[in-house]
Amino acid sequence: MFLGIDIGTTAIKFGVISDRKLRHSHSIQLNTIIEGAKQTQSAAEIKRALMSGVQAIPPAFKSQIKTIAFSTAMHSLMPLKNGQGDDIYIWSDNQASRTIESFRPTAMARAFYQETGTPIHAMSPFAKLLHLKETASLSSYDHFYGLKELAMEMFSGTARIDRSTASATGLYHLQEKTWSEAILNYLSLTADQLAPMCAPTDCFPILPDIADQLGLSQQVLIMCGASDGCLAAYAGYQSTGIPNSLTIGTSAAIRKVTSSPIFDVEKQNFCYYLKDGVYVVGAPSNNGGSVLAWTKETFAEKRTDFYQSLPHILADTPIGSRGLRFFPYLNGERAPFWTNQITAGFHHLTIDHRREDMIRATIEGMLMNLRLLKDLVQVEDRITVSGGFFQTKELGQLAADVLGVACCLSEENEPIFGLYDLYHQTATRTNVGDTIIPDTQAATAYHQLAKTYFRS
């Protein structure tokens, strides 16, 4: 059996898989420490969660595990001094915001983006390191790792990073498949201060002591794996044959699996390596389900019944919310703006608008923003969709109408399935689930509305 471990920023998921069927899974929640712009997680807590999570797997499954592989969230940075350090700065850490806002307009920023495929934004380890350098803190540390290195050192004894996760750091040269000498020189760093790289499918023996503590065979192999976003996109593609995917969780992202790198220097899609001949391009948004959560807290008559009331609200309000528009940038925005300075707001609000119009407008605004990302990634055909947003049928239909593409529900575009597909080199299947077809009249109306939606 195969154990996939997905280390995200909200939880660690453990999934035991055989024959591409999930045999057992459970999750352990993680804490994020927020101190103003600083957002970190504890390396010690993550290690404890990894230990207890594997120990909790039923013995009948655990005894059959032959390989363990890791998916990790992108953009983490763990500075170390003499091997010591507990703070892991996650993607939402925003301390580098001012630093990167100043750097972003420069010719060097454009060159670095084209070299790495990582957008110039405070989320990236490059930005975090640049901030440490500018605040004279960089020299306080001698090594810079992340979640993947933490897991690999714990299980195999050596800190390593796969090329997929490395390609989201802003430090990786996509063409040369190595750390960028130019970028490291700019940061006053050397490659020795970063972990050695390996292929996502490279495997290493498990540490005997760890195997004993976890109740695993000492013959278990540890596969380095890849990043969560790339793996989710790859899993969706492998299970459906559809290269395009949309995930709406707290945030959102549109991704496409391609055979070669694709760059947009102005709007800066991301372009990350997964394996030779496979890249994942896409565009992330800070404003997915968080917009819906804010809408519930702000406008719901009864917060406990908000999601049950949405179908009625959508049925009773017209397309376009009677002229009301909502710019959904409650959390700043990544693609296509890449700034935390952009803000949210209603436009064309009048005394005639009702609470229901405002609720519909917030949802339309969030989806209209995703339509911008769909166009940036050049998605013109079907797209697989996942996330809690699509559990409400009417929201799924609205998404298909606003985006103007068929939305195919997929339950297998999770990173742990992507890990399994990478390891076993599975053939691409065409298992497409329920498909939401855009309503022709509604899609036409939204196509016209999209032409001017974000003009205030």
pLDDT in tens, 272-282: 999 999 999 99
pLDDT tens readout for residues 2-27: 999 999 999 999 999 999 999 999 99
Domain hosting residue 411, numbered range: 227-456
Closest CA to 236 of 261, 253, 223: 253
Residue with the larger pLDDT of the pair 191 and 247: 191
Say whether both 234 and 149 belong to one domain.
no
pLDDT tens readout for residues 152-163: 999 999 999 999
Say whether both 272 and 359 belong to one domain.
yes
The answer, yes or no, to whether residue 412 has pLDDT greater than 90, is no
CATH number at residue 361: 3.30.420.40
Q: What mean pLDDT comes out for the span 215-231?
A: 97
Say whether both 278 and 359 belong to one domain.
yes
- The pLDDT, as a whole number, for residue 429 is 83
Say whether both 253 and 394 belong to one domain.
yes
Strand partners, 454: none
Say whether both 215 and 303 belong to one domain.
no
pLDDT tens readout for residues 42-62: 999 999 999 999 999 999 999
**pLDDT band at 183; cut points 50, 70, 90:** very high
Say whether both 120 and 243 belong to one domain.
no
Say whether both 212 and 246 belong to one domain.
no
- The pLDDT, as a whole number, for residue 410 is 82
**pLDDT band at 413; cut points 50, 70, 90:** confident
Say whether both 96 and 126 belong to one domain.
yes
* Domain endpoint, select from 188, 219, 250: 219
How many angstroms separate the CA atoms of 258 and 102, rounded? 32
Q: Which residues contact 356 (CB under 8 A, 6 or more apart)?
A: 313, 316, 317
The answer, yes or no, to whether residue 456 has pLDDT greater than 80, is no
* Domain endpoint, select from 169, 188, 219: 219
pLDDT tens readout for residues 67-95: 999 999 999 999 999 999 999 999 999 99
Task: With both helix axes pointing from N to C terminus, report the angle between 289-299 and 306-316 in degrees, rounded to the nearest 10.
Answer: 90
Gyration radius (Cα) of the chain, Å: 22
Say whether both 236 and 308 belong to one domain.
yes
- The pLDDT, as a whole number, for residue 388 is 83
Say whether both 281 and 180 belong to one domain.
no
Task: Please name the helix (run of DSSP H) or strand (run of DSSP E) that holds residue 22, with its range, or none.
Answer: strand 21-29
Q: How many domains does the chain have?
A: 2
Percent of the chain's residues with pLDDT above 70: 100
* Domain endpoint, select from 191, 219, 247: 219
Say whether both 211 and 256 belong to one domain.
no
pLDDT tens readout for residues 348-384: 999 999 999 999 999 999 999 999 999 999 998 899 9
